[in-house]
Amino acid sequence: MVSMPAGVTKSSESYEGIVWSILGQTYTLKQQSDASMAWHAVLPPGTFVPPHIHPTQDEFIYLLEGELDLLLDGEKASAKPGDTIRLPMGQSHGIFNNSKDTIVKCVFWVAPTGKLRGLFERIHNVGDPAEVVRIAAEHEVDFLPPPGA
């Protein structure tokens, strides 16, 4: 069991010194226990997380800067700074920074943590999206086929 110590993770720091680079995005770990995990994310213009499902976790995003386009269980939506995005377990979701010049900054969290930290550790600096999809399936994240496939 991973317990969470009381404390403050400063805005310029990461929890346990952990920062991941995942397909052009930067994820800075802010908190982790068995019950939940949180990370600050920076999504450069044109980056995205393709539609996928977390069968064992609820996921949330609090948008700090920029705008996200979303595909939530097949429905289009968008979010702006101050918005909270709810992604229930078992429902598909995709996250897109379709901007040409604006970085998105947001805080993600999941409950429970499950195998997500292990996934991020395994896909850190992996440049092949197909390999990311393969590894994700081993960590309770199921990517969906591209539309029309």
Residue 99: C-alpha distances to residues 42, 96, 104 (Å): 13, 9, 9
Candidates 115, 66, 108; CA nearest to 87 is 108
Please report whether residue 109 resides in a domain. Answer: yes
Candidates 34, 12, 25; CA nearest to 61 is 25
Please report whether residue 148 resides in a domain. Answer: no
Number of folded domains that form the chain: 1
| Rg of the chain, C-alpha, whole Å | 15
* Average pLDDT of the residues in 113-127: 95
Span 83-98, pLDDT tens digits: 999 999 999 999 999 9
Please report whether residue 53 resides in a domain. Answer: yes
| Domain ranges, residue 110 | 15-143
Please report whether residue 3 resides in a domain. Answer: no
Average pLDDT of the residues of the chain:
94
Span 4-18, pLDDT tens digits: 889 999 999 999 999
pLDDT at position 106, please? 98
H or E segment to which residue 107 belongs: strand 104-111
Please report whether residue 5 resides in a domain. Answer: no
Residue 57 is part of a domain; what is its CATH number? 2.60.120.10
29 vs 23, residue with greater confidence: 29
Tokens representing 104 are 């998105």
Percent of the chain exceeding pLDDT 90 equals 87
